[in-house]
Structure 1
Amino acid sequence: MIKVNHESKAWKIARVAISVVLVIMCAMTIVAAASGATYDVTIIDSERSVTISTRAETLTAVFKEAGIVTDNNDIIVTDKFVPGQPSTIRINRGYNVSVSYHGETFKTIGYGDVANVIKQENLEVSETDNVNFPLATKLSDGMKIIIENPITVEIRIDDEVITGDTYSSSVEQILKKFNITPGENDMVVPDYDTIIKENSVIEVKRVTYKERTAKETLEFETIYEDNANMYKGTTHTKVSGVNGKKEVLYRDIYVDGVKTDSEVISETVIEKAVDEVVVRGTKMPESGRFAVDVPIGDSDSVKTISNFTLPSQYKIDENLVPVSYKQKFVGPGTAYHTGYITSTGKAPQPGYIAVDPDVIPYGSKLWIVSNDGRYVYGYAIAADTGGFTWNGSGTLADLYMNTYNECVQFGRRNITIYVLD
């Protein structure tokens, strides 16, 4: 009995030991299961492929571990991704591209290469169409894909006309395509960098140069000296100008054999010119006692014998000459004073003058100065007939003065009459 009891106690100890081992093994199994096993994930990103070993259970975690960033344009294919099992993930990158198709332009998100964009947009590309990239070209952000019909260009050169088909490109590229190399000085119309987009004409104009010499006059310059003792409007030539001579080297420009321009290369003086020196008066003219101020030039004025104010539409320059006039008469002038009504029925006053109406019609608006610069009669109107019309004295006009004394002082002197209107 005692032996039996002893064996029973040993068995009990063995059973306890076995139980402890089993518990430890279960615990290890649970820990292993809880921590998860690694598995391989292959990520195909466009042309790049990478494989990582991971315990990640989500797509986001896988990408984070692989250092891969995507955006909203990208397409992620996950049909072969199962967490915990060997998997494959494919990323199709999306690119913002513009497409010009037969003249119409639009923007799209493209994937892969140029051929794929054409396919995804259902574009029909014929054998004669031109695509500006090879179809297998991989896409990139901002890419501009151009699909165009051929255009016909006409190239005119050396009296020849060359016609052919090409595609939208610069004039320079088109000329190269047709093996045309303009000379360094030749003109190309339109310019080399002009983009031809439709049927057009390109002209190559041959430009040549020829040099020549010519003997020409070297004109003298006029130098003015002011003299306060001479009346304004009068001049005196102190030194007469003499032209010189010079030899000029020209370069003549010919376009397609026709002379179009010349440019001066150099000038050589053969004989120097002598400048002309002209003395001009600055003294203001004498005036009558009923004078009015008339503006001259930009900031000066002069007193006139005439009582009439110069209308604003007429301008007198600093030399007492109208800026514009219809006609000019030069000849002897005299002065008169009378109480009789004029031939046109007007009461006489300074400003109404006597004329030959066959030469200067009644009503003509005039500007009158003496040629010696001493008198500015001013703005006048032809209103009377002068006695000189019949006496053959050759007088040009009789100017009305306020007094007989003024008439005597004026005497007979050459005058200039400008017909304003």
Structure 2
Amino acid sequence: MEWSTLGRPHKSFCGGTHPRNFRFILLSLCLLLAVVVGSLVFAGYAWAKKDVTLVVDGKEIALETRADRVEDLLKMQGIQLGPRDRVEPGLAEPLTEGARVVIKRAVPVSITAGGKTVELLTTADTVGEALKEAGITTDKDDIVKPGREEKVHSSMSIRVTNVEQVTREIMVPVPYRVRREADPRLPSGQVKIVQAGRQGKEEQRWVLIYHDGREVKRVLEASHLVLRPVDRVVRVGTLQQVSRGGRNITYSRAIEMVATAYTHTGNNTASGVYPRYGVVAVDPRVIPLGTRLYVEGYGYATALDMGSSIRGNRIDLFMESAAEARRWGVRRVMVYVLG
């Protein structure tokens, strides 16, 4: 008994014995299945690849990668991070098509504030951010160099100057003026105080500016006169002629002086002449030697001598005898400079 073809045992799909048509159909199905599987494998392979951009310190690099996370990408590119380097997005973040991974390398900067200098490794973009990272707070009046908005670069030196303003109120004296009035009744060169001067008082408000505790400037903000000063009034003599012994004496100036007397010592005067009545000793800084004078109570005289004790407004009158010198004693006289 013969078995029919349909009754023969066979393998499923692409194996076994089949009629020619059936065998062709199975072969076609097998080929189709192989194409589908290959396409799926290829699609999965292509789907795993991503186009990303890697930015390292401002330099952009376009990459094609199969990395799933940011950390995997950096490992594939052989990029090692320092302890203070910054990565955005974070290392654990998934990597997607078109992702942009930015690496900011930390740079060293020095910051001087309050008299102390600190070294900082930072990824801050601006000086202000670096100060904040270092825990340094500044007021609006503080001086920051370079400015707070300046870009940070490697080995940058940043200095913060603390600026403080202090207001103080003080009382200061106001000097009086000296008012001179001509008086024709006084001899020329003589002065007479008519009214003593008195200082005034002024209350002032100052703003003191300190840089790191050291005063650098002060500004007068306001002032108020509390006590008005009183002028000193001085009368100045203009009289240049006096009448003495029935004669009018014309002079250039008059000096009130303390007058003493001396007599022969056996020595010539400082000018080399032998002493005689009418010779007087003076301080050359007040009355030059050789000057002609008229001394009240003594008469006409010439400054021809000096003495170690004759200083300032003092004059020493020569007398012919010691008795005359003792009788003169010490007097306050008016000395007129002639000519």
- Shorter-chain TM-score range: 0.3 to 0.5
Please give the TM-score of this superposition, normalised by the length of structure 1: 0.33
Please give the TM-score of this superposition, normalised by the length of structure 2: 0.39
Q: Which has the larger radius of gyration?
A: 2
Specify which structure has the bigger relative contact order, considering alpha-carbon pairs within 8 angstroms and separated by 6 or more residues. 2
